[in-house]
Structures are given as C-alpha cells and as structure tokens.
Structure 1
Amino acid sequence: MKHNNPSLQVTADQQIKMAESPIHKPGNGEVLLHIKCTGICGSDIHFWKTGAIGPLKVEGDCCLGHEASGIVLKVGEGVDELVVGDRVAVEPGVPCEKCWLCREGRYNLCEDVKFAGVYPYHGTLQRFKVHPAKWLHKIPDDVTYAEGALLEPLSVVLHGIRRAGLTLGRGAVICGAGPIGLIALLSSRASGAHPLVITDLEASRLAFAKKLVPECETYQVQRNLSAEENAKSIRKLFGDSEYGAPETVLECTGVESSIITGAFAVRRGGTVMVIGVGRPIVNNIPFMHLSLGEINLKFINRYTDTWPAGIAAVKGKLLDLKPLVSHVFPLEKAVDAMHICADLSQGSIKVQIVDEIDINPEDVE
C-alpha cells in the first residue's frame, strides 16, 4: 500500500493550500515520523497573514507547523535511542551545535537554527516528516498525542518562567488569555506564585481562564483607559501596599500597550517577562519608570532543555493542558482549521490537526 503525504503550505504571496509533499528517507541520525498531532500556533497565522515575523520571511512555499507529536516509522543509521513504534514529541528547532551559543547551552539563540515551519524548513503539518532523533523526546503511554503536541507551547512558558524567576508566594500578572497566557496561568499556579491575575480584552477568554483556574482574579482591559490607568486597576487586585504588588508580569501578547501596562503594574525591583511576539519596533516604553524602579524588562526566544520538565509536569498531573484544545480537525481539513484559528469570533483556544490513520512502516517507501 502506497501512502501519500498531504501537507499544509503557506506561499510567498500569503496564501495557504494543501499540497502533496515528498516522503524523505531518514539519513544518519534521523528518523521518519508519522505526525499524529500538530497544534496551530499564532506564528503560523502570522506567517500566513503578514508573510513574516521580524526578519523571518516567507520567500517560497513552506509547510507550516511546529507544535507536534508522532510515532517513529523508520530509523536511519546511527540512531540507537529510538526504535520503530516509539511515541515522541517533536522539539522543532535543530541548532548548528557548533557556534559559541550552542557550546554555552543557549542553543535557542543559535543564528543557524533550522526551525520547523519557518521558511525554508518544512514543518509538521504533513503526514510524514524526517527529523533528527536527538531533537525528539519519548512520551509516556499515558501522555496523549494531543498533550505531546502541547509540550511545545508549554516549553515556551517554562523558558519564560525560568528567566523571570517566578517566586513561591509572590504575586504575578499574566497579560493575555490566549493559549500561551492560559498555559502561563496554569504553570504559575503549579509553581506556587500567588496571587494570580490574568488580563485580556475579551470577557469570554477571561471567563475561560476563571473556569480553568478558579482561584485566579481576572481583569478586562479597558480600551478607553491608558496603560497606566489599567495598571492601577490591576494593582488594586493585589491590595494597597507596594510590597504586595505583583513581583512578576508574564506578558503573553507582545502588544505594545500590554507591555506598557505590565511595566506600570509590576512592583519596583520586579520583572516584566515578554513572552509574546510583537511588532519589529515597539515605541513608547516608559524608560525612566523602568529605570527608577530597577524593573527588569526581559525577553525570551523559544526555549532550551524544557521537554523533560514539561513531560514530567504533564505525566505528574501538575497541570492539565487538555481543556485548552477547543477544536480538532483531520489533516485533510487543515485549511479549514487555519481559518477557524484566524477568526477571533469563532472563540477557539487551541486548534489541533490530527492524522488518525494507522500506518504500517513497511508500507512507507
């Protein structure tokens, strides 16, 4: 039985399409995967709608997707840590492992990284994908493929929490109740930060957050108020004292006004950790407010060494990511899934694309 390889691709003129992709043989150190589940990320929508994220531009047809899990179908030479049938989560970035950043263990900053779903490197929204075994992580039998795919956005949050230095018993604000913000809320609770406040423009998303973490407080950002005025209202949820003000802000939108709000909401000596992806240039940052308050404004770029911790957290039931999956589509309907994800009126949280067919490895050429 011969299998085809349908894939979702974005084009240089900002279109999306289903196309047939080749099935590659795994080389030295590589395996061939059957991708079972891929989540749609905001960056996938961004590449489609704008054609670029900062300097990363779509210059030709490229298969999207990087939040993925799958099963090993074939192993190449030199692979001894994985065997056919292993269930794995995909770490989508493959760094050069030669530059000084890689040697320091900061491979997320490698300038020569080959990142799945970023042109010209094809992503996981296809049935079959070759990937280096080193950047695959076995998932336990009681961790689903859906959870395995959610380990990538969880990794983004884990890296942000590490760099922010989230503290047990200290307050935190999460800006944005999208998928990353909701995972940040769950992770902050599991890390012991308290009290927790999550903000958003949309009441429906805040209601979802409250259902997900009942002990959190929610704040609906008011468009008619300035960032400083919104920040003042957020601070009131933590009490009256400066000491009780939030020590950490996890900014999960990348929106300029939200970053500024976070800067005014955090206490002196605190940290604003920008996790969200925003415009290439952000203006109007309150420089002297940050300076006089010794407020740390920090950023992340993806993640390093987060999958083992993520897998342990999911397996150990420290946080339940499954409620975040609001829509599931078969691979053949991936274009429809992208449209649902891009339309805010549809109320999606995390849209996943699955391929549930069973494949005999011997049938794949």
Structure 2
Amino acid sequence: MAENARYPWSPGTATGVGSHPGQDPAEALRVVLGELPGLPHLPELPDRGPGADMVGRTAGLLVDLPVELQPSGWRLTGRPGRDVRRAHDRMAHDLDVLEELAGTYEGPLKIQVCGPWTLAAAVELPHGDRTLKDPGAVRDLVASLAEGVARHVAEVRRRVPGAEILLQLDEPGLPAVLAGSVPTASGFSRLPAVEGPVAEDGLRRVVEAAGAWPLVHCCARDVPYALLRGAGAKGISIDLSLVPDRDDDPIGETIDAGIALFLGVLPGTDTALPSLQATAAPVRELWRRLGFPEGRLGEQVVVTPACGLAGASPAYVRAALKRCREVARTLHEAPE
C-alpha cells in the first residue's frame, strides 16, 4: 500500500518530462533548477540536431552495438557513425554542465533515456528493417542498453554525489509494440505483436541493471500498467488527458500498489494556460473517482507537463513548469 511506500521527493512536488527548446544546456538546466527545485531533471535539447533526439541520445549509450544515422533513421552498423560520436560529445557536455550547476545538489534528480521497446521499434537492423523484427537482435539491444544505462547512471552519480537518481524510461511506442501495430520499414505491413511477458522481461532487465529509482513514461493511450509494475517500475508517467473515465481498474490497482503517478496536466506546446484551479481539477476528480484518501494525493502524485517541451517557446516552458509546481503544492496543501 502507498502508506508504506517510500518516495524520494517531498509531498507536493512537480517535475518535467525531459525535452526543452533551444540549444543551450546551461540555460535549460538553470530554468529546471529554478522552477522545479523539488525534483529537477537533466533536460534534453533535440534542437541541437542528430544525436540530441530521444532515440539518438540513447543510441549513444549502447555498449558494443554501434549505430549510424541514415536518411531513414538510426541503424545498427559495424562501427559508430559521425552522428553517434556527436551524441557522445553532447552527453558529456551536458554532464559537465550538470556538475558545474548542480554538483552540490542533494535530493532527487531525474534522468531520461529511451526505453528498450521504443528503441527497438525505432532503430533499424543493418539491412534496413526495424530491430523489433528480429528477437535475437532485440535481446542484444536490451543487453547493450542495460549496460549502457547502468554506466550512465553511475556517471551521473559521480557528477552529483548527493543526488538520488530517478531513471525515466521513455516508452511512448510500447502500446503499439504490444498491439502489433508498428509498421515495417516499407510501411505496407505491421510487425508481429510482442507478447506481454517478453516485453516485461526486457524492461525489467534495464530497470534492474540501472540500479536507480525506476519510472516509465508512456504518453500514449492503452498504458500497460500491470506490465510496467511487473517490470519493476515504481512510478508511471502519463498524459492525464488520455486517461479513460470508463475503465478505472488498471490505474486504481496501480495506485493501490503504491506506484507513484506522474500526471501530465498541461500541453507540451504553447497554449493559454488554464487557471490554477482548472489545472488541478482533473487530478482531484481522478483521485476522488477512484476513492483514495485525499491525504495520499500530494505524496503519491507528481505533477508534470503532458509530454516534453521541445516544441514550446522558452516563455511557455517557464510558465508551464511554474504552473505545475503551483498545482502540486495546491494538491498537497489545500485538498478540497
């Protein structure tokens, strides 16, 4: 039960999903540290180009599994390409900035990588089809990713020794993998569905190897809550607007099991922000509908934007993160 669970953050906390606009990692991190002091994250800046995107950034962490960028996307190859070397350099620079600006920080700190199934559905085999098509290649990818993520977590710990590391696995493609709706390279067919136990095992391998506090972000419909719990996720990050009001059992069971919910309450692109009360209302309504005590809401829920903010303006990013922080505080301090 949630009363016995330990969460690394203080009640009434907000954080970001991951990506930010712009190309200056120092400026992005300053915004994060200023607006999200209770649970900052290492921002990702895909505007910097190839190797800074979610897939390329994570492909750069793979061990003994080189990749290169082709016109069709990232592809396994015999030796690392120029773009993956850029990914290495950018990650090293990001960690230098993190150490410079937050090296003395103490508390929870979140980092993000692409999860194994979304990665397998995006990275191509050497002959051009998706890695997801070949179970043997998927096993190699999972093993390589698990080792690479473990090294990455260890390096972040070295740079910020007072931090408790939260590892977010980004799996927006997992529901499609499970449903058998991932297109082949030609686009004329679909790859076979991956069975739930196989998908769960792949996630678990990465979670266990990393040795960090694990959560999974899935900003898609049909979030496989039970599978994610079985894989060892202690938190699940979702877009609240996609939560159906007709089938509460999976999310209710997740809350009852003490799993933290990272609830996305604001769009990831510029829009007029609703009032504080209007932003908090869907969170309260979900909690009440499920019948859980109000006192647990501020502890078990972390407030976030619905997805990454790479497509937003810098002004919107600041305003949205501030609003998330205000909503989180309101949910904890002033339950209605």
Question: Same-fold call, TM > 0.5?
Answer: no
Structure showing the higher strand proportion among its residues? 1
**TM-score, normalised to structure 2's length?**
0.30
Q: Which structure is higher in helix share? A: 2
Structure whose alpha-carbon radius of gyration is higher: 1
Q: TM-score scaled by structure 1?
A: 0.28
